Amino acid sequence: MSVVLTTASVPDQDKLAYWCDAVGRELVPMTVTPRSDRPFSGRIASDRLGCVRVSTMQADAKRISRTPELVARSPEALVAVGIQVSGSATLIQDGRRSDVSEGDLVVYDTARPYSFDYPERFSTHVFQLPHRALGVTDAGIRQASGTVIGPGNGFGAVLRPFLSTLAGSAHSYSGAVGDKLADSVIDLVATLVAEGTRRVPVHTDTSRSDLVRRVRTHIDRRLGDPALSPEAVAKAHHISVRYLHRLFEGEGITIGRLIQQRRLEECARELARRGRTVPTVSAVAQRWGFVSPAHFSRAFRTAYGLSPREWRSLRTSAEGSGAPAPAILPAVAPPAVAHG
């Protein structure tokens, strides 16, 4: 459901303050300076598609500024793509000036100061995406900021109609469809940034490896949760499922296979323990996130070549006799199913 904020019913003396609060809530906090002494008029409508915020703003001529103080108070770094529907604007960021005309796309970064000057009444669509969702370095985003793409540009000619249509219909999509559309927007904006920097959109080795490490730790801590899945992992790290899969392309295993492999490893370790109190196979499976004993047994046999009971018997007898015990790591990668 759209959030719509408008100055239409606000007393004249309160319109500007109301508008500053509205912009801060639906976009990011900014100072607003009208270019006329008349009572200010503005309207903003916003929707969510996954981690992407889509807003349409119509307002009187004004200047807006994102100051260092306001940047410092904001919890999240966002990349914004604006579509100038009507009117014109001038963007200044990092000392670069960009003139934006009707039909143009413009990229800017809310994590660094900027200003927009709108000399006349205008309308614009704004798409805001978290930095971390794009898989683009901060340096790449900095290089792309201020990029203006006209409607005749090859990539802009494809991207602008898609984003414009999406802005007009964002309120009508279910959560599941919205998430898929957000993935598409993220991929397209990452490509747009790459076009602006002439670089392939990738994390630095350090940031990529750090994120992979955090994902692996997250999985290990939640193996017992049957709801653990690629979708849940992506949501917990505020990235798209598509980017999560791309992140693990260099790891030699899919995220679904990793979840199941780690569950099977923990089950194998627990089944091999000797003690007075021995949990049942189904109890072990459930403790590590498998909800179906039959599915667990099939997956275990695929990975180890033995049923869970045969594994337990072989391991415990090997330890009792002093013979070498079978290795814990699965010899065969299990099917890519994250749930039990």
**Could you tell me if 106 and 148 are in contact, meaning their C-beta atoms sit under 8 angstroms apart?**
yes
Per DSSP, helices labelled H in the chain are 15-26, 68-73, 131-134, 138-144, 154-169, 175-197, 205-221, 230-236, 241-247, 255-272, 281-287, 293-304, 308-321
Contacts of 204 (CB under 8 A, 6+ apart): 137
- Domain spans in the chain, listed from the N-terminal domain onward: 3-197, 206-321
Alpha-carbon Rg for the chain in angstroms: 26
For 268-294, write each residue's pLDDT tens digit.
Answer: 888 888 776 778 999 999 999 999 999
Residue 205 has pLDDT above 70, yes or no: no
pLDDT bin (cut points 50, 70, 90) of residue 336 is: very low
**Token pair of 148, please?**
């203006």
Provide the 3-class DSSP secondary structure of residue 104.
coil
C-alpha to C-alpha distance for 234 and 89, rounded to whole angstroms: 36
What average pLDDT is seen over the chain? 85
Residue 265 has pLDDT above 60, yes or no: yes
For 37-79, write each residue's pLDDT tens digit.
Answer: 999 999 999 999 999 999 999 999 999 999 999 998 887 899 9
**Token pair of 136, please?**
């683009």
**Could you tell me if 120 and 86 are in contact, meaning their C-beta atoms sit under 8 angstroms apart?**
no
For 135-180, write each residue's pLDDT tens digit.
Answer: 777 878 888 888 888 877 777 778 889 999 999 999 888 888 988 8
Residue 322 has pLDDT above 60, yes or no: no
For 6-46, write each residue's pLDDT tens digit.
Answer: 999 999 999 999 999 999 999 999 999 999 999 999 999 99
Residue 332 has pLDDT above 70, yes or no: no
**DSSP structure class, residue 39:** P
pTM above 0.75, yes or no: no
Domain 3-197 has CATH 2.60.120.10: yes
CB atoms within 10 A of CB 168: 12
For 73-132, write each residue's pLDDT tens digit.
Answer: 887 899 999 999 999 999 999 878 899 999 999 999 999 999 999 999 999 999 999 988
Average pLDDT over residues 192-216: 63
C-alpha to C-alpha distance for 32 and 41, rounded to whole angstroms: 12
Place of tokens 């978290």: 130
Tell me, what's the pLDDT at 100? 94
The domain defined by 206-321 folds into Arc Repressor Mutant, subunit A (1.10.10)
Residue 251 has pLDDT above 80, yes or no: no
